[in-house]
Amino acid sequence: MKKFLSLLLSALLAVSFVVSASAAKNVVDDGVQESAVAAYDELMASFATTYSNSGEKIYPDYYGGSYINDAGQLIVYVTDNVQRPAVLSDNANVVYEPCTYSYNELLSVMDTLNNYKFSRSNDAIASNFNEFGLYDSENRIIVKLDDLSDESIKEFKENVCDSAVIKFEQGCGPIETEVNVNAGDKISFSGGSASVGYRVKRDGVVGFVTAGHAANSVGKSIMYNGTTIASCEATQQSGNADAAFCAITNSDYSPTNTLSGTSNTLSTTISEPGVGTVINKIGMKTGHTSGKVLSTNVTITFSSGATISNLTSADYESGPGDSGCVVYSYIGSTGARLTLGIHTGASGSGTRYYTKANEVNAALGTSRY
């Protein structure tokens, strides 16, 4: 009989264990956020109609970022108290607050930092900042320096970027991947084990995605419960993605859109939620946990030396073995569970990171189905 493998989560623990363990782990109520999430999506859609010659989204000069607060309101920062996004003019759940820096200014500084980091990754200054990102809720760029001394800050300003939009914080060294090197769990490969993300197709071939630092070479065999079921056909740990495509090679196994350990279906619709949005992940090690988006534009450097940009950071719980697992959001009014991306890693400070699903598709040439 054909075995239908719920490859969506790397739920590799017994189903009953995953479900019971997940119920108590950092679950956040997202019901109060629906109106704000809808307003954020509407706002982003209105911006998406305007692009530069290079294809990048253009934001109005008065726009300074936005986030969802704990009361479930969408806070929109504006540099000009007169101008407002017309699309949200009648929404009572949207609150406008003044800010100092426009979103375009913040993005410009992010570009400067990324250019330095990617072009000079091996020099001492670049090695001292392994995480930086655009934090909408603070209207600032936060750069985390491993050596936060006055001398290091001065050196950074002289050589990388001296901008008032930057806020310096203590760093924790290179970001750690979360591939479990212990024996016994679930999708495994030479060197360790990780979690399955969600099903995709690539050039008509059925398979699933996982972390690029896990399936890190083309041709690598992927096993499930000791049986080889797939082979890595494309992998990337650079640019904007830490992702790999694993093609099903064993006809006894077929990926589904069922979230393992549940009867819930993961939607093929891809979403990119804003700061403050409640999101979820299901992984082999820690099961189901949830948290809130902290930033939608973060660059990190792994202990391997690889640097990945445009990641989303969040505060959900994860552990070794969760790398590659599915990250999704839940819309209570419709029951939809939207695809957000795959878990990438965690910092020593407890921040988690995931690669956006749109970036996975762009890097690997995959599509959800």
pLDDT digits (tens, 9 = 90+) for 188-243: 888 788 999 999 999 999 999 999 999 999 999 999 888 899 999 999 999 999 99
Give, in order, the Cα–Cα distances in Å from 261 to each of 21, 279, 319: 11, 18, 18
Looking at per-residue pLDDT, the higher value among 135 and 84 belongs to 135
Return mean pLDDT, the chain: 86
- Report whether 140 contacts 166 (CB < 8 A): yes
Query: Do 59 and 83 touch, CB atoms closer than 8 A?
Result: no
| Cβ 8 vs Cβ 198: under 8 Å | yes
Per-residue pLDDT reduced to its tens digit, 277-316: 999 999 988 999 999 999 999 999 998 899 999 999 999 9
Q: How far, in Å, CA of 116 to CA of 88, rounded?
A: 37
Determine contact, residues 187/210, Cβ cutoff 8 Å: yes
Q: What is the pLDDT of residue 349?
A: 78
Query: What's the whole-model pTM score?
Result: 0.85
Q: Count CB atoms within 10 A of the CB of residue 45.
A: 10
